[in-house]
Amino acid sequence: MGTQTPVTPTVSMEELARILEPLMRRIVREELIEFARHQPHVFHLEPGSPLYEDMEEILRRKQQGKIKLHSPAEVWGE
């Protein structure tokens, strides 16, 4: 029995591009959809609003080392 040399199929650049293009388009499309899904808009807090004052208060307590975190059971009474 003679030794068989593996034959590597030759593909022209044009053919390779034709094969890869739809695949690349699909990958880019999926990545863009995923990116858009995780790209939220920005919500602006207005100074003087209760939420804004809360954020200032949290920062104050952080500087004083008085941040206190609670478990769900402590908050919802479960």
- Give the binding site for other proteins (CB under 8 A): 37-38, 40-59, 61-62, 67-72, 74-76
**8 vs 71, beta carbon nearer other proteins:** 71
Please, how many CA atoms are within 13 Å of residue 77, restricted to the half-sphere of its CB?
0
Shortest distance, position 61 Cβ to other proteins, whole Å: 8
Distance separating alpha carbons of residues 41 and 28, to the nearest angstrom: 22
**1 vs 43, beta carbon nearer other proteins:** 43
Question: Can you read off the two tokens belonging to residue 20?
Answer: 């890869």
Residue appearing with tokens 């499309």: 29
Shortest distance, position 41 Cβ to other proteins, whole Å: 5
Shortest distance, position 10 Cβ to other proteins, whole Å: 46
Distance separating alpha carbons of residues 59 and 45, to the nearest angstrom: 15
